[in-house]
Chains A and B, each alone.
Chain A
Amino acid sequence: MKLETLSKKTIVGALKGDGLRFNVGGFNVCLSSSVPAVAEHLLSLYGAFDVLDNAAFIDFYTALEPPSKLRRYFRPQVNFSFDGYFFFKPLPYKQASAMFEWGLNWCIASHSHQYLIIHAAVVERNGQAFIFPGTPGSGKSTLCAALVSRGWRLLSDEMTLLSVNDGCIYPLPRPISLKNRSIDVIQDFAPDTVMGSIVKNTLKGSIGHVRPPDNSVAQYDTPAQAAKLIFPKYDKGSNTVLTSLSKSRALLKVTENCFNYNVLGFKGFNSLSNLINASDCYEFKYSNLEEAVNLFTELAH
């Protein structure tokens, strides 16, 4: 049963009660929250995800609640907890939906060492997965949202899950996070894009989340093979330039973008080496989104 088939009243009731249980990629999440914005966020962006029954095994028990007493009313805040523990300081109440996304990112990155987790967007076309590591200034999420709006399958916007067992990339097709100007850029590029409420004044500025395509969510259990590893850099006014990168240098660069490389040790190195073996590696400079999308679509043929 999809989340969007439930009434808002049912969703709110579940969130306020024993928690709403739903599948997110390959992970089962139970979320409790009395914050109205959280229910709105789930309804608008997680509608295509499966709701689970009470018998389902849950990977992450999470909650988003205001603190008791003081900060419930005065400069109100919201806390994210995992298994009842608080790993982050609270955020302003209005940032509850963004805090859910960040908190879930942390849960997955901290507890999923069956994968080497790369800070990268990954999309797929014609059976080829294109990985875009997210160094600062890369514009990876903007690129990801643009490609997805043109029919590419979304595997993940934030975390590329590379299995250390079989070398495949496993999907985590959650909402795409856009910041500041990128929100306007994507709304202009793809006016049909469904976006949740804009959360303002976060540490990263304004944040908006793009609903993942239903068919990407439906293929959450279909892994992909890596074909291209591309390090993007948005450079205002620049031409669209794709340059080959030696595999050795690509390996070092991608290592710097891994969340749990050091936890995995040799397994991590081996997994990345195999990924590099299987992929053509590039550096990519761009300023024109249309040209970028066209180039990658050509590359995927």
Chain B
Amino acid sequence: MFENNLIALPTAAIIHCRFWDDECVIYNQLTGDVHLIDGMGVEIFRVLSTKAATLIQLLQNINSVFEWDIDFDAESYLDNLIMEYQKLGLVEVTENTSA
């Protein structure tokens, strides 16, 4: 779904991430909610907290951290994760104009 998009933290600087080991806590300044994230989500936010990235770039990064079964559709799983985070207002998805 997001193959041609750029994924980033919201431009209003309302999302704040803190990383400890392989868990991450995300604070949404707009709602005051705090989210605990582990697994693949942590690596997504680890990348996004430094720069925006495409889905492929995120996948490459995650591939360097985790191993998975050959028949596992990591791209679709990542796509779904991004969609869930977007619904919660934790990430923004825009058109990738540099592609």
Contact = CB atoms under 8 A, between A and B. Distances in A.
A270 B32 CA distance: 12
B20 A276 contact: yes
A201 interface: no
Interface residues of B, number: 13
B25 interface: yes
A84 B93 CA distance: 54
Interface stretch (A18-26, A175-183, A242-250): A242-250
Given A246-B20, A248-B18, A273-B18, 18 more contacts: A246-B21, A248-B20, A248-B23, A248-B36, A248-B38, A249-B23, A251-B18, A251-B25, A251-B34, A252-B34, A262-B32, A265-B29, A265-B32, A266-B16, A269-B27, A269-B34, A270-B16, A276-B20
Interface in B1-45: 16, 18, 20-21, 23-25, 27, 29, 32, 34, 36, 38
A62 to B, nearest CB: 31
A255 interface: yes
A82 B90 CA distance: 42
B44 to A, nearest CB: 16
A273 B23 contact: no
B16 A255 contact: no
Given A273-B18, A273-B25, A249 B32 contact: no
26 contacts: A246-B20, A247-B20, A247-B21, A247-B23, A248-B18, A248-B20, A248-B23, A248-B24, A248-B25, A248-B36, A248-B38, A251-B18, A251-B25, A251-B34, A252-B25, A252-B34, A255-B34, A262-B32, A265-B32, A266-B16, A269-B16, A269-B34, A270-B16, A273-B18, A276-B18, A276-B20
Interface string A270-296: 100100100000000000000000000
**Which residue among B20, B21, B24, B29 has the maximum number of chain A CB atoms within 10 Å of its CB?**
B20
Contacts of B25: 248, 251-252, 273
Contacts of B24: 248
A247 to B, nearest CB: 4
B27 A266 contact: yes
A270 B23 CA distance: 17
A246 B34 CA distance: 15
Given A269-B16, A273-B18, A249 B36 contact: yes
A262 B32 CA distance: 7
Interface in B48-64: none
B88 to A, nearest CB: 16
The 4 closest A-B pairs by CB, nearest first: A248-B23, A247-B20, A269-B27, A273-B18
A252 B33 CA distance: 10
Contacts of B36: 248-249, 252
Contacts of A265: 29, 32
A262 B34 CA distance: 11
A246 B25 CA distance: 11
A276 B18 CA distance: 10
Contacts of A246: 20-21, 23
A226 B27 CA distance: 22
Contacts of A266: 16, 27, 29
B33 to A, nearest CB: 10
Contacts of A276: 18, 20
